[in-house]
Structure 1
């Protein structure tokens, strides 16, 4: 035990004052008697200033109240061995919705908690989104069970390390034990220290939609086309059917055979006159995850973006003019003043691309303009590589310099002298698409694969993707100021306020259709799930990374401090109430026994002169 304010114990020095007051009061008590004759010898004595201490229950109550007041002012703290604290990281990411993975994780967690002592503290943190299950650590098994029963996995990706770091930050302490409950495999090397791993996952086959794109007309007027990118995450070949549906009516369908681990783009031609939101559905046998088999997209007749050529080199500008001139329906120009905006920009310098441009295709010509014979290796899982053979020999003026990291995703590689060099890279950031082609088109103008890749790039740059992924906010406009009801894909509803006619909804934790309703006004928006890491159930990758500054605790845990000031204050109030009750009871008994009012006291008669004829006892 310790005291935060030990100097307050000096109040205990007032106890002798209490004793002195009680001794003083004992000689001033008045007793009413009918006659003083038997007590004349006492009256003749000199009165004492103090008498013996006569204690009763009232004295002990006052003494206890005084001691309790001094102890409460000293603020005592009692140190006891701290209860064991367990940090639980529960995986609630999208992969946990496969089959009954989350139910098994919940049962495993409850079974583990059932074997803990009643005083053990548990703090549960979910991974997707990263939120604590309860505000504070608790040892109440009933509260934990109810919270776990109400918890559901989301359609977001999760990270175990991020959740563990945030959990420690919320605790502001190092837990005695960390329990990881997930479908991810145990990392290699296994976690060190007091980390326990509970895995409820097993390899399962799955085929998923991993990308969706709508393409408008390019060289001639045409209806919209939908490019669905599908991937087989299992180790066996899978037949896959992709269907486009609108209002229960099947618009288009394509069937492909996917090899193990293969990713492929499937093109669906939408019938003429189709506008609005359509649903893409994927069907595959023995598919373990359902949420990555549906996607939504708005389609319609859209004009192609105008093209502006900003190439500085005359030979490159002349080559691009010949290629674009072959596309009669394409609206292009080299005159910046006559161009419509926003536009698709084609240039040979990256600094010529401005934030106002809708999309950009940038050529990076080499300093040496000699053609190089190489073999192009094409990735078929991107629309830029559509219709290109997997491997083709190409003679082109290549730029073999190093590529800056983060430039984009390589779609075409060139094999030169046994080394791989990225030739075409595609990138999409904040809704704007960019393609980098690392060669000189004027020195490769007769290459058929290059022409095909160029027009594939234009088609992809003019495409659009009118859907968000889980975690991205949704916006809807055209509402009056006031509340707007949001109908979520799981049937639940939320209410948000419209500001300036626009609604922004950020709780997009589920994939599917969201409806915004205000009176007769209604809008809908789609959230699509595209996450290859979560869809890959056959080869799960662990997201656990040990803390770089984690130091194993080789010393005993610090004892828990329990302040006693509040308890002593309550005890002091109880003693004061008992003292008041005791005093009131005594006064009532005294009044009832004497038959007089409590405030009427018979005066003590003046002492008389003793009678000499009456003997007085010595």
Structure 2
């Protein structure tokens, strides 16, 4: 117990006054007698003063009341024992599903965390956060070991990428204060440098070989129904070469297969030619010896056997329009026009205009040079993109090349040119928010018979036309064509969700696992299925697991506030305080009531008993 106003104890100086009053009252004796005549000699005798204090219960009540009043003026408080708040950041990202020593890294993390919970202190309050997604498991910190064990056992690893720092920041924001300790349970290596004393790093798992599907391009039929194919990008994240095989199945029937030897830490593209009847839902599976992560070995897509996007050619140069129309005329399945379709809908635009075209779903933009003089250029082709299919890694091509800085370039260079010792990009491919863009920095006019240029054009056209109905894990799904009301969502992990469709449109957010999500309403409408894939090289790389942990400063970093100020008069490190002044005043009031009752009983005259 501590006193907020110690000067209030000066009220104890009233205790000697109480003692003096009782001594004075004891010295003045009052005796009631019917007559003083027999006691006249006693009155003439000098009274003897008492040498000791005679007290009773009333004195002790008054003494306690004065002491209680002085204590109330001193404002006593009691500090509760400080409870340790521990923030737990549990990594639930996709890499935690890797096999390691007979079980997954996440299962090792769960066991390690359960052991920590068993050994926690009596006053420890644990607040559990997951990284993928960054969300709390329980609404508030708790010391209930049973509730913590149930919560930890119910957590599952997801097919998302995670960030330890983001989860820690969110946890601190929800706590509204800096935790006393932080436990990080992850398969990532600890960050370089010395960790703070209040951070405990619990690493599970270890470096493991892995081969993953990191990209997928669904290329439907372009010129003939038989030329549909799938380009699967595979990367070997191991330190040893790996032999991989990718198979495509539909309705439990294998329709295509391709294999390759992938060098250590290398990436390659496998092309799977599909038969004419292959259409609809396709499942892709990768097999490689020693692979430790299963989630990145599968992909799902919906393939169409006809070109789905109309082609619009709008070029300011007539020569460019002439050569492009000649190439498209050789492809019977490609439909092209010179104006945007009506009613408005998605289309592929071929243009040499640099202005933005928000209505186009895909754009092939030509940036030719002012001069039409052809320049011999050594083409250097990147082999890890679908546009580079069938192109020689190095060959000489003569065409007018744009060597100026020109517009701001973005995306992945597919073809470079070596010109006078310079290495300049010639073909750039980019994809943002589901919109694909190919930029060609040369003029194909007058070179319609150049094989490399023709291959580049049609490869780019095929890549731009590739429109697989897929999304990435973590992205929201928008599904139309359902009737308003309750819609049941069958998730890939076997669980189901119930959502409401407003106006026949659903926007589903909880895409935490990869696979097919099936939507069915209660009115008998056709089932809608959307494929969700997992392509995340950072999570698939189990050998070079970089750390996503960054130094977390004081609490309040998400809200912009500074560290919370301590409560006035509170000792550093002390727990919450509870004032006792009100309790003392209640006890004091109770004592005064008892004192009043005793004083009333003492001062009231006794009834006289008369004989008959």
Secondary structure, aligned partner of 1:211: strand
In the alignment, what sits opposite 1:530? Answer: 535
- Deviation, 1:479, is 4.0
- Deviation, 1:189, is 4.7
In the alignment, what sits opposite 2:41? Answer: none
| CA spacing shift, 1:143–1:69, aligned 2, 3 Å | farther
In the alignment, what sits opposite 1:285? Answer: 289
TM-score if structure 1 supplies the norm length? 0.77
In the alignment, what sits opposite 2:40? Answer: none
In the alignment, what sits opposite 1:314? Answer: 318
Segments of structure 1 that go 5 or more residues without pairing to the other structure are 27-36, 43-50, 588-597, 608-618
In the alignment, what sits opposite 2:137? Answer: 133
Distance 1:466 1:535 in 2: 23
Q: 1:545 aligns with which of 535, 546, 550?
A: 550
Q: 2:486 aligns with which of 483, 490, 493?
A: 483
Distance 1:239 1:287 in 2: 11
**1:374 to 2:388 alignment:** no
| CA spacing shift, 1:208–1:54, aligned 2, 3 Å | same
Distance 1:311 1:122 in 2: 64
What per-residue deviation string (whole Å, max 9, x for no partner) do you get for residues 71-123 of structure 1? Answer: 8xx6846386x555544332111000111211222333445566665444544
Segments of structure 2 that go 5 or more residues without pairing to the other structure are 26-30, 37-53, 558-562
Distance 2:202 2:482 in 1: 48
What per-residue deviation string (whole Å, max 9, x for no partner) do you get for residues 331-361 of structure 1? Answer: 223356899853211111220x421112110
**1:497 to 2:500 alignment:** yes
Secondary structure, aligned partner of 1:349: coil
Aligned residue pairs total 564
**1:78 to 2:82 alignment:** no
Q: 1:365 aligns with which of 365, 368, 393?
A: 368
Distance 2:485 2:196 in 1: 53
Q: 2:574 aligns with which of 560, 565, 571?
A: 560
What per-residue deviation string (whole Å, max 9, x for no partner) do you get for residues 372-410 of structure 1? Answer: 433333222221111222333333322234487772122
8 Å CA contact 1:207, 1:233 repeated in 2? yes
In the alignment, what sits opposite 1:508? Answer: 511
- Deviation, 1:464, is 0.5
Aligned pairs for 1:327-338 within 5 A: 327-334=331-338
Q: 1:215 aligns with which of 212, 219, 222?
A: 219
Distance 2:213 2:438 in 1: 23
In the alignment, what sits opposite 1:356? Answer: 359
- Deviation, 1:270, is 3.6
| CA spacing shift, 1:190–1:606, aligned 2, 3 Å | closer
In the alignment, what sits opposite 1:89? Answer: 89
| CA spacing shift, 1:394–1:175, aligned 2, 3 Å | farther
**1:252 to 2:256 alignment:** yes
What per-residue deviation string (whole Å, max 9, x for no partner) do you get for residues 397-447 of structure 1? Answer: 222344877721222222334443222121222222111112222365453
**1:436 to 2:450 alignment:** no
What per-residue deviation string (whole Å, max 9, x for no partner) do you get for residues 519-539 of structure 1? Answer: 363433222111111112132
Secondary structure, aligned partner of 1:229: strand
8 Å CA contact 1:223, 1:301 repeated in 2? no
Secondary structure, aligned partner of 2:230: strand
Q: Which 4+ stretches in 1 moved above 6 angstroms?
A: 1-4, 6-10, 56-71, 337-340, 403-406, 548-551, 570-580
What per-residue deviation string (whole Å, max 9, x for no partner) do you get for residues 34-56 of structure 1? Answer: xxx997579xxxxxxxx987428
Distance 1:572 1:250 in 2: 86
What per-residue deviation string (whole Å, max 9, x for no partner) do you get for residues 442-493 of structure 1? Answer: 3654532222111111111111021111111123344444333323222223
